[in-house]
Structure 1
Amino acid sequence: MSKSKLKNFLYDHLVPLPPAKSTTAVLTTTVEQDEKENSQYVVATGIDRYDKGDYQFRIDTEVDNVASDSSSTLIPSVYTTRRNLKNRHVQLIGIGGTIGTALFVSIGTSLYEGGPLSLLLSFAIWCIPVFFVTLCTAEMVCFLPTTSPFITLTGILCDEALEFMQGFNFWVLQGALIPFEISGVHTIIEYWNSTHNPGIELGIQLGLYFIISMSAVSYYGETEFWLSIGKVILAAGLMLFTFFTMVGANPHRDAYGFRNWNEPSPMVEYLTTGNLGRFQGFLACLIQASFTIAGPDYVASVAGEIKGEVRKKNLPKAFKQVFFRLTFMFIGGALCVGIVCSSRDSQLISAISESRPGAGSSPYVIAMKNLDIPVLPDIVNALLVLSAFSAGNSYTYCTSRTLYGLAKNGKTPKFLTHCTKNGVPMYCVLISLCWGLLSLLELGTNSSIVLDWIINLVTQCQLLNYFLICSTYCFFYKALKYKGIDRKDLYFRAWYQPYLAILGAICFFSMIFINPYLLYYPSKEYWSLETFLFSFLLLFVDAALYIGYKIIFRTKWRKVSEVNFDKYLKEIEDYEEAYLNSEEYHIDNKDKKQARYWYHRFLNLIVGDDD
């Protein structure tokens, strides 16, 4: 690589610049510019494309036979994030960010505490309020797919102070999950080698997250797409493993069926005896479900960087398909672990008590060892490494884009809106990666305690975020009605609203106080100051941020007559209009008329397509 090319590469990827003053939509394709092209363009138009203060234009040199009419690719380029994520990227990012190691490893603890039936019921029941919040998010985000859409809509519909509070809460939620998954990779690798240096892993992971996050969003999307396919393979493979072994396809030729459901019983006692003990076992499983099962966050977080017909096709399709795929995986996973492993298996109990690393605590791996199946445990552990790494990668992206969205809306310092030439908010990425350093706390002797703290913190943040989304939807519904916008004309219209939003808000608000219920237990055995702080401290911090912002900036709760979508709607409408009139649109759709074979449709059902 020549010095000039290296210089241009470093400039494009490592030099953040402020955005242009105008907020026109940005169509993004990878374009190589040099001084010669720029000088020719200045002669032709009188506009300098390297002038960072005003509008810049570039000519797409990668599209052959560019026409000179309105379909030519004269594309406005500003230093902001770019719409370059395809539909298949979005769908797999939604899966990649939601599924970490909890569905395959931590779920064993819930199996022990509640039994197979309690585990299955809790996961199935918790999917219902998650479905409600998915409907609310999908309708709002498909209407206004901007950066950090559900946070931005809180400011538009309710109060800017509430927007600031929700943005901070979601930023902490995503940021705290980065060290959780980094330490998860460490413990998974310990399954093979317990003497390795954890600091090396930490450095390698943070370095890889930095490289991926600093690449153009299309490269991030492609990377996460393939990493998430590993999770789909792992989830599907474990379900197939469950089916084949339960009907006798195992070295012992033992068709064990649902035997483990009755050993000792479908619902086991936890903390106490009798019906109260079985109820507490179910409650413990429900708390685990509220941590494990996530919904629309990750699809919504990428809304500002999706290309194509965002509102009409890509986002509605992504919300529907991602939710039903995740629901199948979560409920299927909860069913399968209860089939392959008894809740009172001696290996499971010792794995939990000893905090065995990686796949060693997974009910699936314990079942494989009980059946004397070789090699498979190592394959599962390898896929768990990819699963944890992929989840951390998604959290890094969401954390940086949340911070960027807050800065774009004037809630955090302006320099955080500066992006590199390829559309990456570098300062936001660097600040977000600092969360990864907290994983050092989890590498000590009390790592399991720190892990519990983070789980409590994340669960409470997630519940509060879902409560705010459902509440915001009620104001969204009211604003549409006031403005005379018929919901039948929306690209995504949820059922039975606003009743499902109200019901969802009640469920999430109630769960905020149910989650740490052991703190209310009469026995002081379950009380600790740390558990109390990580269960409730952030709620007090959120309240303080809301009140403080309101006092300092004198914000007022918006009346429905003051709600104004125009600025953000114009941005997305300009983008979609420019896209539909561009050469890129014709290239993206040139093969739509070609016949697709059955296996194309099957693959699209599993991983999504580009349309």
Structure 2
Amino acid sequence: MADEKKVDIAVGGSEGSDVEPGQTEAVESESYGWNRGLSPRAVIMLSLGGGIGTGLWVGTGTALHAAGPAGIAIAYTLVAIAIYIEFMSIGEMTCYKPVHGGYIRQTMEYVDKAAAFAMGMNFWFQWVMIIPAEVIACISVLKYWEAPQHFPEAAYITIFLIVAAIPNFFPVHFYGHVEIFMSILKVLAIMSCMCFMFIMASGGLPATHGPLVFHYWKTPGAFNHGLKGICKALLQAAFSCTSAGWVAMTAGEMRDPRRTVKRSIKPLFYRSFTFFVVNIWLVGMCIPYDEPNLSKSGTLASPFILAVRDGGSPIFAHILNALVFVTVLSCGITSYYVCSRAMTHMSDLGIIHSWFGKKDTAGRPWNSLIISGILGGGLTYLNLNSTAQQVYSWFSSLVGVASFCNWLLIYLSHIRFRQGLKAQGINYKTLPFYTKIAPYAQYFGIVLVFCFLAAQLYFAIFPFSGKPSAENFFSTYITVPLFIIDYFAYKWWFGTKIVPLKEMDFSPALYFDRIDRDEKEAEEANPSPPLTMVDRIWELRRTVIG
């Protein structure tokens, strides 16, 4: 069937590409009951704010304590490189075909349906595990104050699970409005911390008695636990950047998807890089890795709160803790959204049973939402039998390793995507968005992620204690064997095959090409007036903030 739809022209934005009869209806019917209710602003803010949560506020403290300032700088920089390759890969594929399914669909159409099942289950389970991680973090954050410490943890868990689920009971545009507000608070909080720590490291606060700069790199030192410390920091870095490819998963629910993805993909990476990598360097300058509170749970272990406290601003520490609570709760809300969509995507694409993809008239996937919520909520109550720090460490480690597996398939999907374009005579330079570093960057990314996985296997077998532990292995690395089992079991049961290059279906892109062409003709017929200085400032603000 794909051969019948093949075109001999450069599809991506070429002036001669036409939409075949009935193709518009075919593309629009692929909504599978979803409503395109997310505005471009909502998508940008959700993608940006979705990653500012527990992994950044608290996880950086765990990473600093494990690896030291130089160790976390290396780990987060390496992960940032992998994330950049991921952004460019999903940006090119999603901008060309901004349809429902995200990179689960991209894996199915460009690699293999079994690989899509493995990725989908991995991605779904990953976000299910983020639910308890965020709820546990919410409780720990509240314990920064004395009064909440006397309230039963089971009651806290129940309340936060319900509060995080409620926004997902409404249509997607309501969820988008809630998350825009939350994301604005996140950005303000993290930018305030960056400014504060920069001033602190520069010696602008009396409490530091002069510039800090790289003082803590010398005393107590730049590294802690050597290679094992960096391995642990890699997990926390991957956990912190879990939502990097979130924009691809929302393509089927966003308005004006191609323009939104094209305009947001690079700015999103630059903002994420600033918020994570720059903050990591500042954290290493302001807090020593042997700070006793870093081994605790909650915001008492947050290097940001500790930096504000040590900088002599107790009032700001309380304000920041309140903002951290809001941001962590926001990530809990997002976790419900993403894991329910991941399961529904697999159902809509025929990877799993159609029952999981049932939606109401407003596009809410009740079955997958309830199943994901019950499983994620049930795992949260593990906190009642173990310490919050231990449970958080379990879930964050599993999520981090799951991210590595997903990145591998995203890189492979993009390599196959480019090969498919070439096989069907489509010039990649005609795509609305393309990356000049492909496919070499994707091959490098695969090697890099295999190194990450090898490092985690080493750390899973030989933890800090030095003694092999089954508990440590399964709480760190179980995601990898499950990922492999999912792939081969599905492939054996259903007999799936690698998608031939000439059978890859790029025809839905023609529908979006026509929209681009119509918009271009409308702009040429009614040209906009030259931008004033105020307009340019506004455009800059939109690029930076969203």
Shorter-normalised TM range: 0.7 to 0.9
Amino acid paired to 2:496 = T
Greater shift, 459-468 or 549-558, is seen at: 549-558
Q: What is the CA-CA distance between 1:331 and the residue it aligns to?
A: 1.3
Supply the distance in 2 between the matched residues of 1:570 and 1:360 (Cα, whole angstroms): 53
Q: What is the CA-CA distance between 1:23 and the residue it aligns to?
A: 6.4
Match of 1:98, SS state, is: coil
The verdict on how the C-alpha distance between 1:519 and 1:359 changes in structure 2, with shifts beyond 3 A counting, is closer
Amino acid paired to 1:257 = L
Match of 1:375, SS state, is: helix
Aligned to 2:405: 464
Matched-pair contact (CA < 8 Å) for 1:81–1:425: no
Q: What is the CA-CA distance between 1:115 and the residue it aligns to?
A: 2.5
Query: Can you list the C-alpha shifts for 1:79-109, whole angstroms capped at 9, x where unaligned?
Result: 7111121221111111222221222222123
| Residues 1:153 and 2:106 aligned together | yes
The one of 547, 555, 564 aligned to 2:488: 547
| Residues 1:361 and 2:301 aligned together | yes
The one of 536, 541, 545 aligned to 1:603: 541
Tell me how large the CA RMSD over aligned residues is. 2.9
Aligned to 1:36: none
Query: Which 5+ residue runs of structure 2 have no aligned equivalent?
Result: 1-23
Q: What is the CA-CA distance between 1:200 and the residue it aligns to?
A: 3.1
Greater shift, 237-246 or 247-256, is seen at: 247-256
| Residues 1:410 and 2:350 aligned together | yes
The verdict on how the C-alpha distance between 1:602 and 1:521 changes in structure 2, with shifts beyond 3 A counting, is same
Supply the distance in 2 between the matched residues of 1:84 and 1:140 (Cα, whole angstroms): 22
Aligned to 1:225: 180
Counting only pairs closer than 5 Å after superposition, residues 96-175 of structure 1 correspond to structure 2 as: 96-175=49-128
Query: Can you list the C-alpha shifts for 1:103-155, whole angstroms capped at 9, x where unaligned?
Result: 22221232233322332233223211221121111111111112222111211
Aligned to 2:268: 322
The one of 470, 491, 502 aligned to 1:561: 502
The one of 327, 351, 357 aligned to 1:387: 327
Aligned to 1:493: 434
Supply the distance in 1 between the matched residues of 2:334 and 2:25 (Cα, whole angstroms): 26
Matched-pair contact (CA < 8 Å) for 2:100–2:251: yes
Q: TM-score, normalised by structure 2?
A: 0.87
Aligned to 2:17: none
Aligned to 1:352: 294
Query: Can you list the C-alpha shifts for 1:569-598, whole angstroms capped at 9, x where unaligned?
Result: 467568x489969xxx99xx9999886456
| Residues 1:300 and 2:252 aligned together | no
Supply the distance in 2 between the matched residues of 1:24 and 1:593 (Cα, whole angstroms): 39
Query: Can you list the C-alpha shifts for 1:43-79, whole angstroms capped at 9, x where unaligned?
Result: xxxxxxxxxxxxxxxxxxxxxxxxxxxxxxxxx9987
| Residues 1:215 and 2:170 aligned together | yes
Supply the distance in 2 between the matched residues of 1:498 and 1:601 (Cα, whole angstroms): 32
Q: What is the CA-CA distance between 1:501 and the residue it aligns to?
A: 0.8
Amino acid paired to 1:600 = W
Q: What is the CA-CA distance between 1:602 and the residue it aligns to?
A: 4.5
Query: Can you list the C-alpha shifts for 1:431-485, whole angstroms capped at 9, x where unaligned?
Result: 2212123111123333322222212211111100001110111111110000111
The verdict on how the C-alpha distance between 1:23 and 1:214 changes in structure 2, with shifts beyond 3 A counting, is farther
Supply the distance in 2 between the matched residues of 1:537 and 1:127 (Cα, whole angstroms): 24
Amino acid paired to 2:302 = S
Query: Can you list the C-alpha shifts for 1:141-187, whole angstroms capped at 9, x where unaligned?
Result: 11111222211121112221111111111111111111110111111
The verdict on how the C-alpha distance between 1:117 and 1:522 changes in structure 2, with shifts beyond 3 A counting, is closer
Supply the distance in 2 between the matched residues of 1:483 and 1:209 (Cα, whole angstroms): 46
The one of 478, 484, 497 aligned to 2:419: 478
| Residues 1:189 and 2:117 aligned together | no
Aligned to 1:60: none
The one of 144, 149, 153 aligned to 1:198: 153
Matched-pair contact (CA < 8 Å) for 2:287–2:303: yes
Amino acid paired to 2:345 = G
Matched-pair contact (CA < 8 Å) for 2:48–2:268: yes
The verdict on how the C-alpha distance between 1:290 and 1:253 changes in structure 2, with shifts beyond 3 A counting, is closer
Alignment size in residue pairs: 516
Supply the distance in 2 between the matched residues of 1:25 and 1:248 (Cα, whole angstroms): 58
Aligned to 1:336: 282
Counting only pairs closer than 5 Å after superposition, residues 36-115 of structure 1 correspond to structure 2 as: 80-115=33-68
The verdict on how the C-alpha distance between 1:95 and 1:285 changes in structure 2, with shifts beyond 3 A counting, is same
The verdict on how the C-alpha distance between 1:300 and 1:447 changes in structure 2, with shifts beyond 3 A counting, is same
Supply the distance in 2 between the matched residues of 1:389 and 1:379 (Cα, whole angstroms): 16
Query: Can you list the C-alpha shifts for 1:4-36, whole angstroms capped at 9, x where unaligned?
Result: xxxxxxxxxxxxxxxxxx96555xxxxxxxxxx
Matched-pair contact (CA < 8 Å) for 1:263–1:343: no
Supply the distance in 2 between the matched residues of 1:307 and 1:511 (Cα, whole angstroms): 36
Match of 1:238, SS state, is: helix
Greater RCO (Cα-Cα under 8 Å, separation 6 or more):
2
Q: What is the CA-CA distance between 1:506 and the residue it aligns to?
A: 1.3
Supply the distance in 2 between the matched residues of 1:25 and 1:483 (Cα, whole angstroms): 20
The one of 342, 359, 362 aligned to 1:422: 362
Q: What is the CA-CA distance between 1:420 and the residue it aligns to?
A: 1.9
Matched-pair contact (CA < 8 Å) for 2:33–2:359: yes
| Residues 1:436 and 2:384 aligned together | no
Match of 1:211, SS state, is: helix
Aligned to 1:290: 238
Q: What is the CA-CA distance between 1:266 and the residue it aligns to?
A: 4.8
Aligned to 2:475: 534
Q: What is the CA-CA distance between 1:540 and the residue it aligns to?
A: 2.3
The one of 185, 199, 217 aligned to 1:244: 199
Query: Which 5+ residue runs of structure 1 have no aligned equivalent?
Result: 1-21, 27-75, 271-276
Matched-pair contact (CA < 8 Å) for 1:360–1:366: yes
Query: Can you list the C-alpha shifts for 1:177-228, whole angstroms capped at 9, x where unaligned?
Result: 1111011111111111211123333333332333311222111111111101
Supply the distance in 2 between the matched residues of 1:190 and 1:184 (Cα, whole angstroms): 10
Amino acid paired to 1:531 = N
Larger Rg: 1
Supply the distance in 1 between the matched residues of 2:278 and 2:303 (Cα, whole angstroms): 14
Q: TM-score, normalised by structure 1?
A: 0.78
| Residues 1:376 and 2:316 aligned together | yes
The verdict on how the C-alpha distance between 1:463 and 1:219 changes in structure 2, with shifts beyond 3 A counting, is same
Q: What is the CA-CA distance between 1:253 and the residue it aligns to?
A: 7.2
Match of 1:85, SS state, is: coil
Match of 2:432, SS state, is: coil
Amino acid paired to 1:103 = L
Q: What is the CA-CA distance between 1:404 and the residue it aligns to?
A: 1.2
The verdict on how the C-alpha distance between 1:305 and 1:593 changes in structure 2, with shifts beyond 3 A counting, is farther
Matched-pair contact (CA < 8 Å) for 1:246–1:257: yes
Supply the distance in 2 between the matched residues of 1:597 and 1:564 (Cα, whole angstroms): 40
Larger fraction in helix:
2
Counting only pairs closer than 5 Å after superposition, residues 515-534 of structure 1 correspond to structure 2 as: 515-521=456-462, 525-534=466-475
